[in-house]
């Protein structure tokens, strides 16, 4: 869209082309040097529905279901800001929605709206095109007030002594802002230790977001949060489920969905902060930062923190709390290494190594649920062909259109064996389960991934053990490192918080 700069009593102001009443020079918003922002006029009778829809968000005009005239009227009174979608910098372009600066991820097209060759961002194109002539809009008026009913927290569980100490530290951070790494083993009860801090934040009128890289984690957590905070409308945002007609004080979101937020949250909790793609994608990290208010509390949860986070801890740049035991007090299952020969060669002949086949058939015959993690989708297809006639077996991967349905069926016990890629290495909890990694020597299975996979097992107090097996054609450093890390956690015998 092109804009004109028009004079007013308040100084020059922007006017979008469709609302101009006379001919004047027009220019794409991205090419206007300084964008004027009218001062807030408190006496203006603003539209509360528009406030609720736009507050804390960073949206394209096409995403806002209100008339342009109404939107522009709020701009003129200082309640909405027009911002550039793409800016030109010294060494190239920068997308203001996703933070992309990679030259390879920008392209240009002949734009009907601005009548020129217009550069756009390819990195976040799946959320609608941001280009040089595309404004991003955000609310700059007063924030909505969130009413919460007492009791806010309606979870009646009890925290262990270790969990309680961690929960108190989180609660303290919520009101004083800052950063905290919660380094907790798989099954430590990370979700539950958040509840008291979230309750405190909600009571103080703050807005909280729990963000995670994986859709499966959001769908796993949403019923637990809806139960614990049943008096509050908890919003869930992920691909295909991103409607937010009105703001909620408690949002669970994939990190991708945070591209659409700016200065929204007082408390940001990033779960599985080490998970792909967040740990490798700087634009997702940008999205989390952009969604936070300038003064905010930021809490990072991980069982396998990255070297960068651990380096910050070592430099005293990041506070940390360490939870080395599971909530039920039992040790983490230690993986067993099992040599299975040249598994790649066997699969080409549609043949599973006998040691693997026997382990899988034992579980199918007994009905005990199990995960079988495989390196690639091609390997998954080959293994499924070998096993599909032996019982209740299914498969799932990142691009599977039926992924959510299959995972839910597995949770309900309707599927005995689920063959999967590393997409389910975290975020899915099933009470009584074993796990095997087929081709554990494959490069896709990093030490962190292998440790997370082992963490799927023994998570319930009714079945705290279970079996974890790494089938391989030669041990790798990642396998050894994962096992050593698990054994080190198990050596921590006292329930003590190490800071």
Query: 94 to each of 61, 99, 117, 251, how far by Cα in Å?
Result: 19, 6, 17, 28
The answer to whether the Cα torsion of 313, 316, 320, 325 is positive or negative is positive
Q: Which of 259, 263, 280 is nearest to 121 (CA)?
A: 259
Tell whether the model's pLDDT for residue 499 goes beyond 70.
no
Within 13 Å, how many C-alpha atoms sit on residue 76's CB side? 16
247 vs 486, which has greater pLDDT?
486
Q: How far is CA 447 from CA 168, 311, 335, 485, in A?
A: 31, 18, 12, 9
Q: Is the pLDDT of residue 426 over 90?
A: no
Domain spans of the chain? 2-139, 161-323, 336-491
Torsion angle of the four alpha carbons 139, 145, 150, 153, in this order, in degrees rounded to the nearest 10: 20
Tokens, residue 479: 């396998």
Angle at 453 between CA 451 and CA 456, to 5 degrees: 115
Euclidean distance between CA atoms 497 and 499, whole angstroms: 6
In this prediction the pTM is 0.88
Per residue in 137-195, pLDDT tens?
A: 999 999 999 889 999 999 999 998 889 999 999 999 998 889 999 999 998 999 999 99
| pLDDT tens-digit readout, 10-24 | 889 999 999 998 888
CA–CA separation, 420 vs 146, rounded Å? 41
**Residue 255, pLDDT score:** 96
pLDDT at residue 428 in the model: 84
CATH numeric code, 336-491: 3.40.50.300
Q: Does this chain's domain 161-323 share its CATH topology with 336-491?
A: yes
What confidence tens digit (pLDDT) does each residue in 218-274 have?
A: 998 999 999 999 999 999 999 877 767 778 999 999 999 999 999 999 999 999 898
Single out the residue of 457, 478, 392, 428 nearest to residue 221, CA to CA: 428
CATH code given to domain 161-323: 3.40.50.300
Distance CA 151, CA 162 (A): 25
For 92-120, the pLDDT digits (tens) are 999 999 999 999 999 999 998 888 899 99
Q: pLDDT tens digits for 61-87?
A: 999 999 999 999 999 999 999 999 999
Q: How far apart are CA 471 and CA 338, in angstroms?
A: 5
Please tell me the predicted confidence (pLDDT) of residue 493: 47
- The band of 479, judged by pLDDT with boundaries at 50, 70 and 90, is very high
Banded model confidence at residue 498, pLDDT cuts 50, 70, 90: very low
Task: Please tell me the predicted confidence (pLDDT) of residue 497.
Answer: 42
SS (H, E, C) the chain: CEEEEECCCCCCEEEEHHHCCCCCCCEEHHHCCCCCCCCCCCCCCCCHHHHHHHCCECEEHHHCCCCHHHHHHHHHCCCEEEEECEEEECCEEEECCCCCCCHHHEEEEEECCCCEEEEEECCCHHHCCCECCCEEEEECCCCCCCCCCCCCCCCCCCCCHHHHHHHHHHHHHHHHCEEEEEEECCCCCHHHHHHHHHHHHHHCCCCEEEEECCHHHHHHHHHHHHHHCCCCCCEEEECCECCCCCCCCEEEEEHHHHHHECCCEEEEEECCCCCCCCCCCHHHHHHHHHHEEEEEEEEEEECCCCHHHHHHHHCCCCEEEEECCCCCCCCCCCCEEEECCCHHHHHHCCCCCHHHHHHHHHHHHHCCEEEEECCCHHHHHHHHHHHCCCCCEEEECCCCCCHHHHHHHHHCCCCCEEEECHHHCCCCCCCCEEEEEECCCCCCCCHHHHHHHHCCCCCECCECCCCEEEEECCCCHHHHHHHHHHHHHHHCCCCCCEC
Strand partners, 460: 463
299-347 pLDDT tens trace? 999 999 988 999 999 999 999 998 888 888 889 999 999 999 999 999 9
Percentage, residues of the chain above pLDDT 90: 79
265-270 and 208-212 strand pairing: parallel
**Strand-pair category, 2-6 with 116-121:** unpaired
């Amino acid at each position: 869209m092109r804009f004109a700069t028009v004079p007013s009593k308040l100084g020059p102001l922007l006017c979008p082309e469709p609302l101009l009443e006379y001919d004047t020079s027009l220019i794409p918003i991205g090419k206007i040097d300084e964008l004027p922002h009218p001062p807030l006029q408190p006496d203006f009778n603003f539209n509360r529905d528009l406030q609720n829809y736009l507050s804390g968000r960073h949206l394209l005009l096409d995403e806002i279901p209100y008339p342009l005239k109404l939107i522009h009227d709020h701009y003129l009174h200082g309640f909405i800001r027009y911002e550039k979608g793409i800016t030109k910098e010294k060494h190239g372009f920068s997308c203001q929605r996703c933070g992309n600066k990679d030259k390879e991820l920008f392209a240009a097209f002949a734009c009907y709206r601005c009548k020129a060759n217009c550069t756009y961002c390819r990195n976040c194109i799946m959320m609608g095109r941001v280009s040089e002539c595309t404004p991003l809009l955000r609310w700059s008026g007063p924030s909505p007030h969130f009413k919460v009913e007492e009791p806010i927290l309606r979870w009646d569980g009890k925290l262990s002594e270790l969990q309680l100490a961690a929960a108190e530290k989180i609660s303290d951070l919520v009101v004083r802002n800052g950063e905290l790494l919660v380094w907790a083993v798989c099954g430590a009860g990370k979700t539950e230790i958040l509840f008291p801090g979230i309750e405190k934040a909600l009571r103080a009128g703050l807005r909280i977001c729990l963000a995670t890289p994986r859709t499966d984690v959001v769908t796993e957590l949403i019923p637990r949060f809806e139960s614990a905070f049943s008096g509050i409308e908890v919003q869930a945002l992920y691909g295909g489920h991103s409607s937010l007609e009105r703001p909620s004080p408690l949002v669970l979101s994939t990190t991708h969905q945070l591209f659409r937020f700016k200065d929204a949250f007082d408390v940001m909790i990033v779960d599985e902060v080490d998970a792909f793609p967040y740990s490798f994608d700087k634009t997702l990290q940008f999205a989390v930062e952009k969604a936070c208010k300038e003064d905010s509390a930021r809490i990072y949860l991980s069982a396998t923190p990255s070297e960068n986070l651990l380096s910050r801890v070592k430099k005293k740049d990041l506070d940390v709390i360490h939870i080395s035991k599971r909530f039920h007090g039992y040790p983490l299952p230690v993986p067993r290494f099992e040599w299975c020969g040249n598994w790649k060669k066997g699969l080409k002949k549609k043949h599973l190594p006998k040691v693997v086949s026997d382990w899988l058939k034992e579980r199918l015959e007994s009905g005990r649920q199990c995960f079988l993690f495989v390196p690639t989708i091609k390997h998954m297809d080959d293994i499924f062909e070998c096993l599909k006639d032996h019982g209740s077996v299914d498969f799932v991967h990142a691009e599977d259109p039926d992924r959510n349905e299959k995972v839910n069926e597995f949770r309900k016990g309707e599927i005995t064996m689920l063959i999967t890629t590393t997409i389910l290495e975290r975020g899915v909890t099933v009470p009584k389960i074993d796990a095997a990694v087929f081709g554990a020597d494959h490069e896709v299975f990093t030490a962190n991934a292998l440790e997370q996979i082992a963490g799927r097992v023994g998570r319930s107090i009714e079945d705290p053990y279970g079996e974890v097996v790494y089938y391989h054609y030669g041990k790798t450093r990642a396998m050894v490192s994962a096992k050593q890390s698990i054994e080190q956690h198990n050596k921590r015998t006292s329930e003590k918080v190490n800071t």
